[in-house]
């Protein structure tokens, strides 16, 4: 090969500065600020994805995930991708064309579940309620009675609204109607009470960048025995090769058969994130999130700012703050970012321009975060009229 004979196009050969990202307080719906220990773990040297050291680490991640989710599920793994990848994996593996699925839609991510299920050929039906509200047990029973679905999909922690769907009794109903229960736990895992086995949840997925404080890019997924039985009885192949759990079982199971190159350093980070959860203990961690959230809500009330979700269904990890009449949504968020290095988010979908979404998750769930945010928000709102 005579390299000197090639003509090189130099158009896109730019000279850039060494990367230097200005620090932010990430008080939005995610990603949250990564714990320093997690960043340190991610900087460790790489090994191969079949290296004995990495295989041992995989076992630890699975066991720590079972603790965080409070489940004994054998198949509990981190998917190589963001939370949306784990969301798609749950649907791609359990849906065969023509399957009936019922989805509770009370926010943006319920709609996303509907969209994904339709793409895999499901006959999708919806239960709907206003964004920020939750479904009653009777509404769910009526939906199961009417549609007789193979799968019921519900968002436990709706990131677009800040509402937390109660799950008590839903698993029993699903067994009564021979239906799998699927839960979106992206904004609840590691921050909000979550008891998969006690609540009889068959399938759950999450993300790394919320209450676990790991950077985005790896996503927990767990399938219970009833879900695995449905997967094994499929008449057709899973339509998504990369997310086909029948193949990934061989990598995350005893055989350790190659499927794809796992993101080594992302797994380092997730292991450390889960180790931090286990060190603190779930009960203490849930209590901390609740206590810090309450101090935020009290501070907002003192500023005459209302929360969108009723107190009994409000997520401790994600609060939706009603934007006061006459206040410019974007102007407040831009001022917070430019003057205080604070990121909060605007509303999604039906709540666009109506709420701010404020996350205090994991490492960010501290009294200092609340004090900083409230004082900065008060200044940012002043003079931010439309």
Same domain? 212 vs 65: yes
Same domain? 366 vs 247: no
Among the candidates 278, 301, 319, a domain finishes at: 278
Residue 5 domain flag: no
pLDDT at position 342 is 98
Which CATH number covers residue 350?
3.90.1150.10
Strands 219-223 and 203-205: antiparallel
What does the chain come to in residues? Answer: 386
pLDDT at position 1 is 65
* b/e per residue 256-283 (b: at least 16 CB within 10 A): eeebeebbbbbbbbbbbbbbbbeeeebe
Residue 108 domain flag: yes
pLDDT at position 8 is 86
Residue 16 domain flag: no
The whole-angstrom separation of Cα 63 and Cα 65 is 5
In three-state secondary structure terms, 151 is strand
Same domain? 287 vs 256: no
Low-confidence ranges of the chain (pLDDT < 70): 1, 385-386
* DSSP state at residue 215: P
Structural domain including 199 reads 36-278
**DSSP-assigned states of every residue in 249-270:** HHHHSSS----S---HHHHHHH
Same domain? 289 vs 236: no
Which CATH number covers residue 137?
3.40.640.10
Same domain? 67 vs 138: yes
Domains contained in the chain, number: 2
Residue 248 domain flag: yes
Same domain? 164 vs 269: yes
Residue 166 domain flag: yes
Same domain? 118 vs 171: yes
Residue 141 domain flag: yes
0.85 exceeded by pTM:
yes
């Amino acid at each position: 090969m005579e390299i000197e004979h090639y003509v090189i196009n130099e158009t896109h050969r730019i000279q850039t500065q060494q990367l230097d990202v200005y620090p932010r307080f990430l008080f939005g719906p995610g990603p949250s600020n990564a714990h320093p220990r997690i960043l340190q773990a991610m900087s460790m040297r790489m090994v191969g994805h079949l290296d004995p050291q990495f295989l041992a680490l995989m076992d630890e991640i699975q066991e720590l995930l079972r603790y965080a989710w409070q489940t004994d599920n054998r198949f509990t793994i981190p998917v190589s991708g963001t939370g949306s990848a784990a969301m798609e994996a749950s649907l791609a593996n359990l849906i065969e064309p023509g399957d009936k699925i019922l989805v509770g839609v009370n926010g943006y991510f319920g709609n996303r579940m509907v969209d994904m299920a339709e793409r895999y050929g499901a006959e999708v039906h919806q239960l709907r309620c206003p964004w920020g509200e939750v479904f009653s047990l009777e509404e769910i029973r009526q939906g199961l009675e009417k549609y007789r679905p193979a799968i019921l999909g519900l968002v436990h922690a709706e990131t677009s609204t800040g509402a937390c769907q109660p799950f008590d009794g839903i698993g029993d109903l699903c067994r009564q109607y021979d239906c799998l229960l699927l839960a979106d736990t992206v904004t609840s895992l590691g921050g909000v009470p979550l008891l998969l086995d006690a609540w009889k949840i068959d399938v759950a997925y999450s993300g790394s960048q919320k209450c676990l404080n790991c950077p985005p890019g790896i996503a927990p997924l767990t399938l219970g025995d009833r879900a695995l039985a449905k997967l094994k009885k499929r008449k057709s192949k899973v339509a998504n090769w990369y997310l086909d759990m029948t193949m990934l079982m061989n990598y995350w199971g005893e055989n350790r058969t190659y499927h794809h190159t796992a993101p080594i350093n992302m797994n380092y980070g997730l292991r450390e994130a889960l180790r931090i959860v286990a060190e603190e203990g779930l009960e203490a961690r849930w209590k901390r999130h609740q206590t810090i959230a309450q101090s935020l809500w009290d501070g907002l009330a003192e500023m005459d700012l209302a929360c969108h979700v009723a107190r009994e269904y409000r997520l401790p990890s994600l609060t939706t703050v009603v934007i006061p009449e006459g206040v410019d949504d974007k102007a407040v968020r831009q001022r917070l970012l430019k003057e205080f290095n604070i990121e909060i988010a605007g509303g999604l979908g039906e709540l666009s321009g109506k709420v701010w979404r404020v996350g205090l998750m994991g490492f960010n769930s501290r009294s200092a975060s609340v004090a900083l945010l409230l004082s900065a928000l008060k200044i940012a709102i002043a003079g931010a009229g439309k």
